[in-house]
Structure 1
Amino acid sequence: MLADTGLTRPETAPEVPSPPAWSQRIAALGNRFYTELPPSPAPAPHWVARSEACAQTLGWAADWWQQPGALEVVSGNALWPGMRPLASVYSGHQFGVWAGQLGDGRALSLGETMTPQGLWDVQLKGAGLTPYSRMGDGRAVLRSSIREFLCSEAMHALGIPTTRALCITGSHLGVRREEMETAAIVTRVAPSFLRFGHFEHFAHIANDDQHAALRELADFMIQHHAPECLAAENPNLALLEKVARQTAELMAAWQSVGFCHGVMNTDNMSMLGLTLDYGPFGFLDAFDPGHVCNHSDNQGRYAYARQPNVAFWNLHALAQAMLPLLNDLNDGSEAAIAALEPYKTVFPEALMRRMRAKLGLATELDADRALVDDLLRLMAAARADFTITFRRLSRFDADDEASRRAVRDLFLDRDAFDAWALRYQDRLAQERSVPAERHARMLATNPAVVLRNHLAEQAIRQARDGDFSEVERLLKVLASPYDEPAVAADAAFPPDWAQHLEVSCSS
């Protein structure tokens, strides 16, 4: 039954000015790729938060959420005309182990809508059971929904490729995790939610017909999301190389802001190089290369320092899945491996480019890598706060004792830092760096605010009591991460109690 809203059936929901039309291109591939089904209604839904920035990206009016039926649509209780909800099937490796068939266990694509950037897919996450829910209930809880909503928009504001989040709605519907919690639904959007796991799924079903489906999927991906590959001698190899390069750039972006994904399974890797599926994640507080943000990751597979290598491992899994598409080559395996080779150069080059920017370096020297590595070693030894260290370095001036002391005080071995600072000072002198100009560049590169766990936790605790004002406030702060926040605590060291926060796969 639908909630009592006057919308007795999805098909009769009133039409609204935006979005004007819906499509579902993947439906043309046939039902091997998805299951069509309606979302499960959420009783008595209410608004939790909305992102005006995301609505603007979609080209939607600022008051879209006030249109008749909007709350019901994004809560799974109704559909706008033209929507065709479906859950897609995929497979994947989870924690390095083949997990077999997975799929959208609690997500439903409502359809694609035209935006200024082209067609974008609009999904409900937490919309109820699908054929791919396995042992799950198809729901998401308020806690994890707030974290995904805030981090999606925070990553976008940091300039890191990501899926976006339009809004969250909540319901009094009870959902059991470690304890009883209440349900919520995130409306998330992206040009595509295609994953490495989509290709793995059809590659691992060993019959010619399913390999035909694999070819259809690759053709679909290239036609709609990588048309430049059509001009290549082998479009599928070109696609693989494109994904490798995009993934390398994404990993460099993550590492440069201290972001830890937590569940880098192949089914959570985007074919578009987007940050996808915010389950357990975290931004580094004290710098620890071995930090594991996911309490469920007992082996530390997805530790911060391991993320670039894990991404490369995942790319090999994708390459393996695409081998049936390379039968026309003399040695498809060798060609696939060669297509991944750019990752080995793109990632370190992209990371060094970002790290030079974080240090305010406008030119490139071979010695810069050692300068960066030695700073990170000092930070690790001192467990210096990742975000605060680089933010304070943004104001570092050898001739200003206060700015120098602000950074120096973060390190246990002051003499070692002084030695590094002399090298840094010499490096800046080599390119005749102008302090005021350098400071401006660095302050626009090193964020003052990231979504630390304790900031999200404070918003979640208030939201559980029905007060969503902290979610809204924090969203605004995270939208301008390079500005000094009005509330100093947003950019301060985490409180002691934050050390005991844990995030896991339970959401």
Structure 2
Amino acid sequence: MKLDELNLEVDYFQFDEKFYEKVDATPLNNPFLISYSKSVCDLINLDYKECEKEDFVKFINGEKVLKGSIPFSMAYAGHQFGYFVPQLGDGRAINLGYINNWHLQTKGSGLTKYSRQGDGRAVLRSSIREYIISEAMHALGIPTTRALALIGSSHKVYRDYLEVETGAIVLRVSPSWIRIGTFEFFSRGKNPENNLRQLANYVINQSYPHLKNDEDKYEKMYFELVDKSAKLLAQWMAYGFQHGVINTDNFSTAALTIDYGPFAFMDHFSKHSVCNHTDMEGRYSYNNQPEIARWNLEILAYSLGKICSFQKLISYLKTFMSKQQEEYLKIMNQRLGLDIDLSDDGNLDLMIDLLEALEESKIDYNCFFYEVTKLENFDNISSILDIAVFRSPLENWFEKYKQLIKIQKQDFFKMKELMKKTNPKFVIKNYMLQEAIDVAKQGDFKLVNDLLKIAQNPFSEHKEFERYAKPTPLEYSNIKLSCSS
């Protein structure tokens, strides 16, 4: 389908005008295409060649408005680092409408009513990071917003230490942009019950359409969100992903990974790792993520409690941590090739011992699982020990692993097949992204597109990028980033 043949729809104007602002983008100076994702083009039936035309860049830059599109930004509230902020919103994002149930949004398009002290812009480095990681998460099977394209510009933007950077825009797509913070905003002011019912119905139509005609549909929506969020957090934890800023305004009511800021995939394993340098107290540390997610869902219950049974919501929320652990153990067993049905408790003790051994040995987290996948037998583990700073913790753990395999009569060949499906060769690390950012600042975007290819095909060999399958160099390991990253 040609770009001009796309017909967007907008369904947000059913709400009162206090919940959104119709706003036009402020175009960047001298925009140009950096990259586009063919797999995301497929979601909206857009011909690939259309992305290479000048009109496509104008579309992302806000100079061209597609048929049916009425650009707008959403208002929402949120708990940021645990403190309630009553007025937030799309401070640098503009919604364009939806097609095929995919809602299009540009990030970095200029000032909106909700920009507060910001400039409404996104810089090149943060845009590259979000563009690539969105597709990397999807390829790992982790629910996420997606990224269709990335444009750069000569537009000057000022960030840390008054450094002059250039502006960029990511065209993001998602089944939903509604957050817990949206419910917090709708629950305040006049007629909160009516506003909340309208919003809840909207979310059900978007993300839980099978519940539309059910009794107690608001409670059931919440129950499903709890279950999906438990699984999402299990996936984050099992693959060593750190979101960095799990505020309620960054927590999706469709259980998607949303709003990539100072994120990171774990380098060497550290359960108290913090990837956001503004998180001084470690609220959003790796280990805290499930509890923060549960806390966010509790905040949502206070809003939804105005239109359904608060007690039922809170009672169901008590299942979150056990469900998250159950899902986590399932994935971790798969990463080790273990048939969980052959165990009595999901091999919980083995997993606890593994995490301790990984932390004590200071080994690259995802590289460990990839190297286990490559083993021809479990007697020769030198390839794993060679990438550990300290060897003995892993040597001791492998003895427990081998003993459990023997007791449970796990089939070695089935183990290998399961691990191959679960453990990618490549996981996008921050040092890789920084390499792409450094050359992109010089006008070379080849590595951005190479990393996109790797991100979208993490189980493939990519022989020319073998070095990215190796541990993160220690000097770049577990580096903290800022919210503007």
TM-score after normalising by structure 2:
0.95
Counterpart Cα distance in 2 of 1:334 and 1:210: 19
1:382 pairs with 361, 377, 386, which one? 361
Distance 1:447 1:489 in 2: 14
| 1:82 pairs with 2:82 | no
Structure 1 counterpart of 2:135, from 130, 146, 153 = 153
Deviates more, 1:303-312 or 1:379-388: 379-388
Instruction: Decide which of 294, 301, 323 is 1:319's aligned counterpart.
Output: 301
Question: Per the alignment, in what secondary structure is the counterpart of residue 89 of structure 2?
Answer: coil
1:269 to 2:267 alignment: no
How far the C-alpha of 1:28 sits from its partner, in A, is 2.1
Task: Tell me which moved more, 52-61 or 492-501.
Answer: 492-501
Q: Distance in 1 between matches of 2:119 and 2:428?
A: 28
Distance 1:412 1:82, change over 3 A: closer
**In structure 1, distance between residues paired with 2:337 and 2:235:** 16
Query: Could you tell me whether the CA contact under 8 Å between 2:2 and 2:47 is conserved in 1?
Result: no
Q: CA deviation at 1:325?
A: 0.8
Counterpart in the other structure of 1:441: 418
Tell me the distance in 1 between the aligned counterparts of 2:275 and 2:376. Answer: 34
Q: 2:469 aligns with which of 491, 498, 506?
A: 491
- 8 A Cα contact 2:334 2:419, kept in partner: yes
Using the alignment, how far apart are the partners of 1:60 and 1:18 within structure 2?
10
Q: 1:467 Cα deviation (Å)? A: 0.5
Task: Give SS of 1:136's match.
Answer: coil
Output the CA distance in 1 between the equivalents of 2:71 and 2:46. Answer: 20
* Pair 1:407-2:389 in alignment: no
Contact 1:92 1:98 in 2 (8 A): yes
> Does the aligned pair in 1 maintain the 2:94–2:105 contact within 8 Å?
yes
1:231 Cα deviation after fit? 4.7
SS for the counterpart of 1:300 is coil
Deviation at 1:473, TM superposition (A): 0.7
Separation in 1 of the partners of 2:50 and 2:413? Answer: 43
Work out which of the residue numbers 341, 352, 355 in structure 1 matches 2:329: 352
- 1:479 deviates by 1.4
Question: Kindly tell me: are residues 254 and 100 of structure 1, through their superposed partners in 2, closer, same or farther at Cα, counting changes over 3 Å?
Answer: same
Once the two structures are TM-superposed, the CA of residue 341 in structure 1 deviates from its matched residue by 2.8
In the TM superposition, 1:176-195 aligns within 5 A as 176-178=158-160, 179-195=163-179
- Identity across the alignment (%): 36
CA distance in 2 between partners of 1:152 and 1:371 (Å): 32
Q: Secondary structure at the match of 1:188?
A: strand
The answer (yes or no) to whether the contact 2:9–2:99 under 8 Å persists in 1 is yes
Deviation at 1:388, TM superposition (A): 1.0
Amino acid at match of 2:120: G
Greater Cα shift, 464-473 or 29-38? 29-38
Cα distance per residue 1:411-433 (max 9 Å; x no partner): 56645433322221232234443
Query: How far off is 1:277 after superposition?
Result: 0.4
Give 1:397 deviation, angstroms: 4.8
Cα deviation, 1:323-364, whole Å, max 9, x if unaligned, reads 1112xxxxx332220232331332111101100100101233
Partner of 1:90: helix, strand, or coil?
Answer: strand
The range that moved more, 231-240 or 17-26, is: 17-26
2:6 and 2:333 map into 1 onto residues whose CA distance is: 45
Q: Which residue of 1 aligns with 2:312?
A: 335
Distance change >3 Å, CA 379–CA 18, structure 1 → 2: farther
Aligned residues: 480
**TM-score, normalised via structure 1 length:** 0.91
Structure 2 residue aligned with 1:99, among 85, 91, 113? Answer: 85
Q: Which segment is superposed worse, 173-182 or 419-428? A: 419-428
